[in-house]
Amino acid sequence: MTGTYDAVVFDNDGVLVELTEMDVLRRAARAAFEDHGVADPPEPLVEHAANGNLDDLARVEDDLDLALADYWASREDHAVAHQTDAIESGEKPLYDDVTALADLSHRKAVVSNNQHGTVQFIVDHYGLGDHFEHVAGRDPTLAGARRRKPETHYLDAALDELGTRDAVYVGDSPKDVEVAHRAGVDSAFLRRSHRTDTVLDREPTYEVETLTALAERLAD
């Protein structure tokens, strides 16, 4: 199959693999607090940490006398470790329709808001490396977190690596459609079952329910 694009760039969570359960991220957040001697952290801070809400999580500096950068580094380490465990145990499986990657002759890459360590482990664990020329998750730092989509930092880097802007970005959230728009590339919104009721602020170039359907559309 061939399409009109030079490259197809994919989001990871909710596209290639199932979303991480929030309880996994809450456990990671609590473990990071324990690293810094906080055995019983306030639940709102656990939720902010699990969701990656940096502005609200900044309260750790006043409430717990804990540097946000230090806490975040621990949080990221534990998030990678806990998600790795979830992948190995089968809690975070690959979607069946990822086999459609083989039907796309385009150059391919992955750009995710998840940590780079998590994303690289997923690609390696599920044997997807031969499909992708570039794999990028966020840097496990505050600066890395602030560059998450819909900021274009990581998508721009992937497109530069691929040497083209003739591309489509495939994701399952409004942020994915928005980052494609900001980067000046087309977008494909994957409306999986967990996005049935999602309302988009911006119209994507394509809307499909499966990667198989996307491969068929890009072959037209």
| Domain range summary for the chain, segments of one domain joined by + | 7-19+92-219, 22-89
Asked whether residue 2 carries a pLDDT value surpassing 70, the answer given is no
With 0-12 / 13-18 / 19 or more C-beta atoms within 10 angstroms meaning exposed / middle / buried, residue 61 is middle
Q: Report residue 50 as tokens.
A: 């699990």
Strand segments, DSSP code E, in the chain are 7-10, 107-115, 134-138, 167-171, 186-190, 206-208
User: Which residues sit opposite 115 in a β-bridge?
Assistant: 138
CATH number 3.30.40.230 is the correct assignment for the domain at 7-19+92-219: no
User: Which residues sit opposite 135 in a β-bridge?
Assistant: 110
Question: pTM of the full predicted structure?
Answer: 0.95
Looking at residue 74, its pLDDT comes to 98
Identify whether the C-beta of residue 20 lies closer than 8 Å to the C-beta of residue 13: yes
Looking at residue 219, its pLDDT comes to 86
Span 105-135, pLDDT tens digits: 999 999 999 999 999 999 999 999 999 999 9
Secondary structure percentages of the chain, helix, strand, coil, to 5: 50, 15, 35
Span 38-74, pLDDT tens digits: 999 999 999 999 999 999 999 999 999 999 999 999 9
